Amino acid sequence: MRGYAAVLRAEMVPDSAPERVLHRLGFRTEDVRLIVLSHFHADHVATLCRFPKARVLARRDVFERIRACSPARNLRHGIFTELLPPDLAGRLIDVQARPVVHAGPPLDEGRDLLGDGSLLAIDLPGHADGHFGLCFPKLPTPLLYAVDAQWLLRAAFEQRVPGFPASLVAEKPGQLAHSARLLTAFRDAGGHVMLCHDPDPAPFDLREPSA
Ligand SMILES: [Zn+2]
């Protein structure tokens, strides 16, 4: 974990800890029943153990590949299996078993995660094995949360592939450009795109607590 943190300068901001964020919304981590896991990088699974009652929507094929890999190979791709809850296999719901639905141009198709067409998993390859984003097609302005398909929206829209150190972690750097083109096409079609690590404010950010 220290190696990953050192390379990508990852750190947990206290006010962003899941307990604090949920408390501000009136919930506890035990109240969370469903988590969507877009990929298995350390910074996306580091707090999974704090949600003991949640089912986890994720790619079972990727999870099995990770379990079969050597620690050294996983480490090269930013994956630390010791961060995963020991009972994850039993709580995992396979995204690939969800129905395929038409997602509309430019996304073509996605996996209907909730069964009502409100939340679709969209393949965004390149960043990590099986990496997918989330489309909310029924919002007044459809939203594509593209997670780690790119680091910065500006770079994605300019079709720039991530530089070092993000490129170091990328599973298939050659596919990052394809995913970036999809983000740009979604925006050009009138949709809203968000990324996980872009520091610019986004309309769905929670407001910081007032001092
Ligand atoms: Zn990642």
pLDDT of 202 above 80: yes
In this structure, are 5 and 47 located in the same domain? yes
Pinpoint the alpha helices (H) of the chain.
Answer: 2-8, 18-24, 42-45, 60-68, 71-76, 88-91, 153-157, 166-169, 173-188
According to the model, what pLDDT value does residue 22 have?
Answer: 93
Whether 169 is covered by a domain: the verdict is: yes
In this structure, are 142 and 76 located in the same domain? no
What is the 166 CA–ligand 1 centroid distance (Å)? 9
Whether 208 is covered by a domain: the verdict is: no
Mean pLDDT within 97-117: 95
Cα dihedral 70, 60, 13, 30 sign: negative
What is the 128 CA–ligand 1 centroid distance (Å)? 6
The tens digit of pLDDT for each residue in 136-192 reads: 999 999 999 999 998 888 888 887 766 655 565 677 777 888 898 999 999 999 999
* More confident position, 127 or 4: 127
Structure letter (DSSP) for residue 135: E
Structure letter (DSSP) for residue 99: P
In this structure, are 114 and 181 located in the same domain? yes
According to the model, what pLDDT value does residue 182 have?
Answer: 93
What is the 102 CA–ligand 1 centroid distance (Å)? 26
Range of the domain at 89: 1-97
Whether 207 is covered by a domain: the verdict is: no
What is the 156 CA–ligand 1 centroid distance (Å)? 15
**Residue 164's closest CA among 153, 151, 174, 175?**
151
What is the 38 CA–ligand 1 centroid distance (Å)? 9
What confidence category does residue 205 fall into, taking pLDDT thresholds of 50, 70 and 90?
A: confident
In this structure, are 111 and 81 located in the same domain? no
What is the 158 CA–ligand 1 centroid distance (Å)? 20
Whether 205 is covered by a domain: the verdict is: no
What is the 138 CA–ligand 1 centroid distance (Å)? 26
In this structure, are 91 and 114 located in the same domain? no
Mean pLDDT within 14-27: 87
What is the 148 CA–ligand 1 centroid distance (Å)? 5
* More confident position, 202 or 68: 68
What is the 68 CA–ligand 1 centroid distance (Å)? 20
In this structure, are 92 and 74 located in the same domain? yes
What is the 42 CA–ligand 1 centroid distance (Å)? 8
For tokens 């590949």, what's the residue?
Answer: 65
What confidence category does residue 11 fall into, taking pLDDT thresholds of 50, 70 and 90?
A: low
Where does a domain end: 57, 72, 97?
A: 97
The tens digit of pLDDT for each residue in 26-81 reads: 999 999 999 999 999 999 999 999 999 999 999 999 999 999 999 998 888 888 99
Where does a domain end: 75, 97, 119?
A: 97
